[in-house]
Structure 1
Amino acid sequence: MATPAFEEIVEDFEFLEDWEDRYRHVIEQGKAMDPLDDALKVPATKVDGCASQVWLHPIIEGGVFRFDGDSDALIVRGLIAVLRSLYNGLPVSEVPKVDAGGELARLGLNDHLSAQRSNGLRAMIERIREVAQENA
């Protein structure tokens, strides 16, 4: 159950055969995001379990889930952009049902992220699921 925005990233990854090109693409996705307002970089939005600084700010309007985020690490900022493409625009009740691990495996991320980055990615997914479940 992937959004059209995530399917677009999957298609881009299929076109980019070299992992270094894919890595650059993830970073570019992060660079294209608007920065999170400093006023939203507070303990309540900070994600624990990430090696770098990560903030996720969920917004639920009319039963639709989306979030903004930021990080002090370029690759993590890119991973936030990938997660936004996976979750933003879904009904909040559908967010916990997304098989994030399975969808992200389509990109081959698991094989190319360090253990710390993988742990951080899992922590971000958990935070997204928790917020959605609390608001479903």
Structure 2
Amino acid sequence: MSLPMAAQEALNVFEQAAGWEQRARLLMQWGERLAPLSEEEKSESNRVHGCESQVWLVAEQQDGQWRFKGASDARIIRGLLALLLVRIEGLSSAELAQLDLPAWFNQLGLGRQLSPSRSNGLNAVLQRMSQLAAGA
């Protein structure tokens, strides 16, 4: 499966990073790219449960493709969320359900840095995306 353009860009940037410190800085920079959510969008109904940090996810479907927006109160999680969002951009519900999240973060060189709680949180985000996509 080919990567969306922004995901390919992320992959290129992260592959060139020398070591974890540089990747961590990149991660936070990617987190800054997330479009801010309004206070209304940061509602309890948009909150993703299963994350230690506060994470909100908003979904809309345009021309059969899913568009997600997300936010978190934690900088590292914001970066991971941004990288997840560029990876799933434009995927169908079926493609979303088949996404191998650990493989994507391993490609970025971030797999080893994902603590179990962060991994669980990201999986909770992906599950929430799938639920939203399936329930449309």
> Could you state the TM-score of these two structures normalised by the residue count of structure 2?
0.91
Which position in structure 1 is the counterpart of 2:122? 121
**Count of residues paired in the alignment:** 135
Whether the 8 Å CA contact 1:56–1:67 is kept in 2: the answer is yes
- Cα offset, 1:99, TM superposition: 2.1
Q: Does 1:84 align with 2:96?
A: no
Whether the 8 Å CA contact 1:30–1:74 is kept in 2: the answer is yes
Which position in structure 2 is the counterpart of 1:25? 26
Post-superposition CA distance 1:79-133 (Å, at most 9, x none): 1110110112223442222222222221132201222212111111111122222
Which position in structure 2 is the counterpart of 1:130? 131
Distance in 2 of aligned mates of 1:52 and 1:24: 19
Indicate the RMSD between aligned Cα atoms, in angstroms. 1.4
Distance in 2 of aligned mates of 1:97 and 1:114: 22
Could you tell me the percent identity over the aligned residues?
38
Following TM superposition, where does structure 1 have runs of at least 4 consecutive aligned residues deviating by more than 6 angstroms? none
Post-superposition CA distance 1:9-46 (Å, at most 9, x none): 11111111211111110111111222111101112110
Distance in 1 of aligned mates of 2:109 and 2:19: 11
Whether the 8 Å CA contact 2:15–2:109 is kept in 1: the answer is no
Gaps of 5+ in 2: none
Distance in 1 of aligned mates of 2:113 and 2:28: 14
Instruction: Find the residue that maps to 2:44 and give its secondary structure.
Output: coil
Distance in 2 of aligned mates of 1:4 and 1:103: 14
